Chain A
Amino acid sequence: MSDFMLRAALAGIGLALLVGPLGSLVVWRRMAYFGDTLAHSALLGIGLGFLLGVEPSLGILATGLAMALLLTGLERRRAMLSRDTILGILAHGSLSLGLIVIAFQERLRVDLVSYLFGDILAVDATDLAWIYGGGIVVLGVLALIWRPILLATLSPELAQVEGVRVRRIQLVLALLMAGVVALAMKLIGILLVTSLLIVPAAAARQLARTPEQMAALAALFAALAAIGGLQASLLWDLPSGPAIVVAALVLFAGASAWRPAAHR
């Protein structure tokens, strides 16, 4: 196995361990469109990062945090708008701002496609260190908020009465998602990163009986999709992001077809 392929596979497995539990939470809490909004805003983060000369990942984290704060702020103000309308405004507003910021910087245009769809050749040792270092932080925080956030998903009022700081935990979850979008950018690309959160978790739902089973199965499916997708990408010279997502889709189709035999 070539060096870059090994790095890409390790990156894929590292990400899979994150998107399993996090993606399950996204499915449970109906946060798919929020994930998309984070992904759209990531382009603004990249543009601002280059403009200010800081790491694009940090730019993505910053715009992701801004999106989370804007969303909760707008919702709390009772702007007479539904959540998906607010998210639509944030997603496309930030995407357009990002494209304009990038349009001002000549040398960035070449790289745009790899940011959108991922590029396994671009994964270097530093990225791997980020994925595993950042991944440990994300998983650690997730472990801390896992039970309270499950309770808050089932009944926010019950959680609050039992002493869970629901708003704060929601914000933490949004931040973790922004972090994973930033980490997944090189391998999957920002356009498809939400699908890596959703599709393996949706496949895992077909077979799981407890939240933890679903999170673990989703991580397994995501890892299989990453390895399968990367192989296909190498064999047929495909962009890595779409190849991984298509591999995840195949797993989802398989789990859905298998479920009626396994359950009820």
Chain B
Amino acid sequence: MSAPLLSLDRVTIRYGAEPAVNGVDLAIAPGEIVTLIGPNGSGKTSIVRAALGLLAPDEGAVTTAPGLRIGYVPQDWHVEDTLPITVRRFLTLRGAKSKADLERALEEVGAAHVIDSPLQHLSGGESRRVLLARALLRDPDLLVLDEPMAAVDVTGRAELYRLIRLIRDRRGCGVLLVSHDLHLVMAETDRVLCLNRHVCCSGTPESVLAHPEYLALFGPRLGRELAVYTHHHDHDHDLHGRALEQGGCAPDGQGDGPGDV
């Protein structure tokens, strides 16, 4: 196996006396999709911030491959009405070098139609795609997405997770993903780390779903329902996939945004 793009070694992060993250190990190999799941307050965002270098861990070390380029899709994204800015202008702020680059990146994420929309008019799914396009313009070795689905509905989420996997397949970049919905992401992820301040369990999505610690964290009832839903969802998702390829353009899950054409 090749050297990891990024590794966290016994990382501990404290905000008060109690550690928010306690001795977490994590390594992402090139081309690998790693998903962090866990309840609120389990330290997912702290780990991502440490991985990005936005936060220095109190103990342990974060190591990145030399010259690593990270494409980051942040969690919070609320564009104030005071700032008039279109998608095109946003992507040229220290981003796209040429018009062709810009259009190709938007095409790749299925958001070519919003190129001249004000950022404020984008739906939740469209904003995620635009942020993803921005990350891709950096030609990243590693994509980091912090709860990318917060403002996206369930159908849109499935499409976006699939898009993230397709990007990985095409570009061979590593992906670090923070997610609430293991049931939606499991078909598109290689490895799952289940967190609750420490790593409860990790492995393939299937093994984590069946793991006693995962079931204890999310409750056996929820765990079972998610498992049932997974099956149901896979079917739904395949249909979507086919529709996507025929249409040549990804329909957005959130059709009610004022910017939708």
**Considering only CB atoms, which chain B residue lies closest to A162 in the complex?**
B94
The interface residues of chain B lying within 8 Å CB-to-CB of A209 are: 84, 86, 118
The interface residues of chain A lying within 8 Å CB-to-CB of B93 are: 147, 150-151, 154
B84 touching A205, Cβ below 8 Å: yes
| Cα(A203)–Cα(B119), bound, Å | 20
| Cα(A154)–Cα(B77), bound, Å | 8
Which of B76, B80, B131 has a CB less than 8 Å from the CB of A28? Answer: B80
Which of A154, A160, A164 has a CB less than 8 Å from the CB of B83? Answer: A154
- Contact flags A164-193 to B (C-beta < 8 A → 1, else 0): 100000000000000000000000000000
Q: B259 in the interface, Cβ–Cβ < 8 Å?
A: no
A210 touching B86, Cβ below 8 Å: yes
A157 touching B85, Cβ below 8 Å: no
Q: A155 in the interface, Cβ–Cβ < 8 Å?
A: yes
SS class, residues of chain A in contact with chain B? helix
| Cα(A157)–Cα(B93), bound, Å | 15
- On chain A, the number of residues with a Cβ less than 8 Å from chain B's Cβ atoms is 22
B84 touching A208, Cβ below 8 Å: yes
| Cα(A150)–Cα(B85), bound, Å | 10
Q: A148 in the interface, Cβ–Cβ < 8 Å?
A: yes
Q: B74 in the interface, Cβ–Cβ < 8 Å?
A: yes
- Contact flags A104-121 to B (C-beta < 8 A → 1, else 0): 000000000000000000
The interface residues of chain B lying within 8 Å CB-to-CB of A151 are: 93-94
Q: B227 in the interface, Cβ–Cβ < 8 Å?
A: no
Which of A154, A164, A213 has a CB less than 8 Å from the CB of B84? Answer: A213
Residues of A22-79 whose CB lies within 8 A of B: 27-28
- Interface pairs (20), CB distance under 8 Å: A28-B80, A148-B94, A150-B83, A150-B93, A151-B93, A154-B90, A154-B93, A157-B74, A157-B76, A158-B72, A158-B74, A158-B131, A161-B54, A162-B94, A162-B138, A210-B84, A210-B89, A211-B83, A211-B89, A213-B84
- Nearest-CB distance from B259 to chain A (Å)? 12
Q: A153 in the interface, Cβ–Cβ < 8 Å?
A: yes
| Residues of chain B having any CB pair with chain A under 8 Å | 52-54, 70, 72, 74, 76-77, 79-80, 82-86, 89-90, 93-94, 118-119, 131, 134, 138, 144
Given A154-B90, A158-B74, A161-B54, verify A205-B82 contact (CB < 8 Å): yes
- Nearest-CB distance from A180 to chain B (Å)? 19
Q: A91 in the interface, Cβ–Cβ < 8 Å?
A: no
| Cα(A160)–Cα(B144), bound, Å | 14
A211 touching B84, Cβ below 8 Å: yes
B85 touching A210, Cβ below 8 Å: yes
The interface residues of chain A lying within 8 Å CB-to-CB of B118 are: 209
| Cα(A154)–Cα(B79), bound, Å | 6
- Nearest-CB distance from A201 to chain B (Å)? 9
The interface residues of chain A lying within 8 Å CB-to-CB of B70 are: 161
Q: A214 in the interface, Cβ–Cβ < 8 Å?
A: yes
| Cα(A42)–Cα(B52), bound, Å | 40
- Nearest-CB distance from A204 to chain B (Å)? 9
The interface residues of chain A lying within 8 Å CB-to-CB of B89 are: 210-211
The interface residues of chain A lying within 8 Å CB-to-CB of B53 are: 161
B94 touching A157, Cβ below 8 Å: no
- Nearest-CB distance from B142 to chain A (Å)? 11
Name the 4 nearest CB pairs between A and B, nearest first. Answer: A161-B72, A28-B83, A208-B84, A151-B93
**Considering only CB atoms, which chain A residue lies closest to B138 in the complex?**
A162
The interface residues of chain A lying within 8 Å CB-to-CB of B77 are: 155
**Considering only CB atoms, which chain B residue lies closest to A146 in the complex?**
B93
A147 touching B94, Cβ below 8 Å: yes
Q: Known pairs A147-B93, A148-B94, A160-B54; list 20 more (Cβ under 8 Å).
A: A27-B82, A28-B80, A147-B94, A150-B83, A150-B85, A150-B93, A154-B85, A155-B77, A157-B54, A157-B72, A157-B76, A158-B74, A160-B52, A161-B70, A161-B72, A205-B82, A209-B86, A211-B85, A211-B89, A214-B84
